[in-house]
Homo-oligomer: A and B are copies of this chain.
Amino acid sequence: MTESTDYAARHVEFTAPEPTPEEQAELDSMYARMDELHMKPLWNQIGGLMPNAPEPQAVAHRWDWSELITLARRASDLVPVGRGGERRAIGLANPGLGGPTYIAPTLWAAIQYLAPGENAPAHRHSQNAFRFVLEGEGVWTVVNGDAVPMRRGDLLLTPGWNFHGHHNIATEPMAWLDGLDIPFAHQMDSGFFEYGSERLTDESTPDHSRSERLWAHPGLRPVAFPGQASASPLGRYAWEHTDAALRDQLALEDAGFPGVVGPGHAAIRYTNPTTGGDVMSTIRAEFHRLRPGAVTTPVHEVGNRVFQVFEGSATIRIGDEVFGLNHGDVVNVPSWRPWSLEAGPEGVDLFCFSDHPIFEKLDLARTYTPEGI
């Protein structure tokens, strides 16, 4: 639903007549009794509970890649990887969300780091997960026994309840971005977790995963696997395809044909080839490429986005704040905060993930582009 309403604040004060001291005493006594009985009046809290438009506690924040990678290396020196801790992953904790490590009320983002020869043991959980590879190579993620290579620019999926582990066979450490719906599962009390085998179930290091051999042929699917799967059966979206798709969109724009989402702005969405929909039920993944200097239209959206710069530089305006973004930097956009990107002089490539499928499936999605823009 695109709305043109002006979401101006309402906050009409609830103006009951000023109570007399006796009345106030009665009221106090009533409220105290409610407290004892685990009840609360709506009339005193409705403005906070039901604002005119979303007023997220989460704030926009940028995490610098140089800091992230430095701390990840330091952790590698100090903390082993193994059962119980499970992963050497450092989560990005939204400053507005207090205690838990949530980059957004629904989403988790972390840098995971694996040194040469290390092995992150297998487990599975109902939480949906992906990995996006900013740089490096040499790690294979084994998903239900299928060894999936991780290389620069690749997106890997480990949808809910698939066993997965990682092992680094290279001589260099490797770091990547983990994205999950841990906060959503935690707040919704929907998460399950189970240990898998301690040891690798497959030590092979094939160039392509089996899932790619079955599912990474454009517009084609194996007749042996009909029907719709709730999560994508394709485990790896290799960078070469993403890059080619973006180049093609910009070439079409140059030739005067449709394809880009806006001037100088190419974007692809990773999809589930059995449905054409999002890769997982709770997480959308996209990749955006802006030409040098390209600017996107500000937009309000219900839901949260997280960007990571893959190449180049940009600035992002989120409400009244502006953040510079360079290689590897991560930034989040809270719900309903208007945002726009402006590419730096060499253009910018950004990976993006969001929780938008949740809202679309529940008929709660809404976007708003202010007039005159």
Contact = CB atoms under 8 A, between A and B. Distances in A.
Interface of A: 5, 7, 10, 12-17, 23, 26-27, 30, 33-34, 37-46, 49-56, 58, 61, 63, 67-68, 71, 74-75, 78-80, 82-95, 100-101, 105-106, 110, 125-127, 160, 182, 185-195, 210, 213-224, 226, 228, 230-232, 234, 237, 241-242, 244-245, 248-249, 251-252, 257-261, 267-276, 281-282, 286, 288, 302-304, 334-336, 357-359, 361-364, 366
Given A105-B187, A219-B272, 10 more contacts: A37-B71, A38-B92, A45-B101, A46-B86, A50-B191, A187-B187, A214-B252, A220-B271, A221-B276, A231-B363
A220 B188 contact: no
B189 A78 contact: no
B190 A217 contact: no
A285 to B, nearest CB: 10
Contact of A85 (B43, B63, B272): B43
Given A189-B105, A241-B217, A259-B224, A16 B358 contact: no
Nearest to A7: B192
Report how many copies the assembly holds: 4
Contact of A220 (B90, B101, B242): B242
B182 A50 contact: yes
A258 B195 contact: no
Given A224-B258, A224-B267, A281 B90 contact: no
B12 A224 contact: no
20 contacts: A14-B85, A17-B80, A27-B78, A37-B68, A41-B89, A43-B87, A43-B88, A49-B186, A50-B191, A53-B193, A54-B192, A56-B189, A105-B189, A188-B359, A190-B359, A216-B219, A219-B273, A221-B269, A223-B288, A230-B363
B210 A257 contact: yes
